[in-house]
Amino acid sequence: MKLWQKIAVAVAILTVGVLVYSPHFSYHFPFHVDEWHHISEAIRLGSYGEYFDVLRTEWQQRFGGMEMGFHFSLFVLSFFTDLVLSYQYLPALWAMLSAAIIFYTTYKKTGNNFLIGLLAVIFFGSIKSNVNLTGLWFFTPLTFAIPLIFLYLYLFTEGVEQNNQKFVLLSLALMLALVPTHSISVLFAIPMLLMYSLINIKFFIREYKLTLLFLTVPIIGVLFYKAVIQVPWSEMLRHLFDQLQFNFGWGVLEIPNKFTDAYSPVALTLAALGVLYILIWHPKSIRPYLLYLLWPITTAVSVFIFRLTGVAYLSPAQRTLYYFTLSLPFFSALGVYGLLDLGRRYLLTGPFNQRLPKIVESLCAGLIIAIAVVLIFIPYYQIPKQVDLYRVIDDGDYQALLWLKDQPQSTVMATPFVSTALYPITGHTPVGTVAFYGNRDDVIAFLASPTCQQRAEILQKHHVTYVVSPVTLSCDWSLVYEKEKFIYQAGR
C-alpha cells in the first residue's frame, strides 16, 4: 500500500475508536450490567475457590462459567490497572483492533482492493449498539470474540482455497481458544462451516487427518462444559440439548429487535447491492466469497426461525442478529464499490460513450462515498428508549463505595444498580444485584417496605452490616457516611 493509503486506514480505524468511546465522554464507568458482571468474575479469579463456588451455584442462571477465558484475560489485566476505571477504554481499543483485522481480511480476500477494505472499516464502525443486542460500545465476550471470528473464518477459507494446512490449523486454534471464552461465537458458525465444507468436500476427504482434528472442537467443548457445570455423563446429552436451545425470554429483556436496530437502512441496502453485484455481475468470482455469502444467509434464517417458533438454536436470537450484522460491512463495502463500477461502465457504454476525465471521475466517486457515509451514520445514536444506555452508578455512588472499600468485609444492602457495582469496587457482598447475583427480590422488598421493622427483618435475614442509600432513612441506624449518598451501619 502507498503511504496515503496507510494513513487513510489509520484515520478510519482511529475514527472507529472515537465513535465507540463517545458515550464515555460524559461517563467514565462501565455502562452495562454485563460489564460489571465480568469485572466481578475477573476479580473472583483471585480467589479460585470462590470463583468456582459461584459457578456451581448459579450456572443455570448465566453462562459465566463458559466465559472464563474472557474473565482470565481481565484478571491478568487487573494486575496492571484498575478495571473499574480502565474499563471505559476497552470497548474502543478492542473495536480498533477489530477494525484493523476487518481491513486486513477484506483487503486480502478482495485481491488487495484498498477501497473495499477501507469501506468495510467505515461500515463496521457504523454498527449500532444498545443494551439488549449489546455491541461495540460494551466490552463483553461477544465483542472480545469479534476479531477472532473474522480471523478464523478468513483463515479457514484461505486454507481450503489455497490448500494450505497451516491456515486451517490456525483457524482451528482460534476456534478452540473461543470455546472457553465465548463458545457461542463458534456455535453460531456451525451451519455455514458445514455447508462450506460440504461444497469443498474433496479437500476435506483428501485432508482427512486434518478433518478429524476438527472433532477436537466439540470434544473439548463437551469436556469443558462438563468440567464447569459438573453434570453426570448420564445427563450430558439432555443438558447439552437444553442449553443449545434459547427460548423466548432468554435475556433479561425480550423485545422484537429489528434488523435496523443494529445497522442503518442505507447500509443494509448497500449490503444487498453488494450481494447482487457478486451474484449477477461477477458470478465466476463467487468462490472466494462463498463462506461470506453463507454467513448472512444462515444467521438470517436462524433469526426467522426464532420469530416463527420462539426458539433459537446454537446461539440466542439477539446474538444471532448481531452476528448477522457483523457479516454485512463486507457486502456494504462491495455494494459501494459495485455502484461505482457499474456507474463507470454506464458512462463508457451508455449515452455518454466516453470516459470522464480522471479528476471528474474521482470527484464523483468521492461524492457518492461521502453521501453514503453521512447517511449510514445519521441513525448511529438513534436508540429505542427501552434499550438505551443507562448509568449503573454516578460519581457520588463511587465515592461512597470507595469509603466502604476501607471497611471490614461484610454484606451490604443497596439499590440493584449500586449493588451491581458493589463487589467490583469494594469487595463487599451485595444482597442482590440487577442480574447474576444474590436475591434481587429481597432488595426490591427492602426498598418498598413501609416500616423500619420490615426492613430490619430483611437485613437480619441476610446478616447485613451496611445500608447504602441515595436518600436519608428514618430508621434507627448509625449514619456513618454522608456525602451526596448515605451509608448506615445496621449491624455488625
* Rounded average pLDDT per 10-residue block, the chain, 492 residues: 90 96 94 92 72 46 65 90 94 96 94 94 94 90 95 94 90 89 90 92 84 77 67 68 69 73 93 91 82 94 88 85 95 92 69 65 82 92 86 92 91 92 92 85 87 88 90 88 89 64
Distances (CA, A) of 136 to 89, 90, 222, 341, 448: 12, 10, 29, 31, 36
pTM: 0.88
| Structure confidence at residue 439 (pLDDT) | 84
Sheet with 485-489: strands ordered across: 429-430, 411-413, 464-469, 485-489, 478-483
| Structure confidence at residue 287 (pLDDT) | 84
| Structure confidence at residue 59 (pLDDT) | 40
Distance CA 313, CA 433 (A): 29
User: Which residues 6+ apart lie within 8 Å of 161 measured at CB?
Assistant: 287, 288
Residue written as grid cell 463467487: 286
Distance CA 189, CA 148 (A): 12
What are the chain's domains?
3-385 (no CATH), 395-489 (3.40.50.12610)
| Structure confidence at residue 195 (pLDDT) | 93
The Cβ-side half-sphere exposure at 157, using a 13 Å CA radius, reads: 24
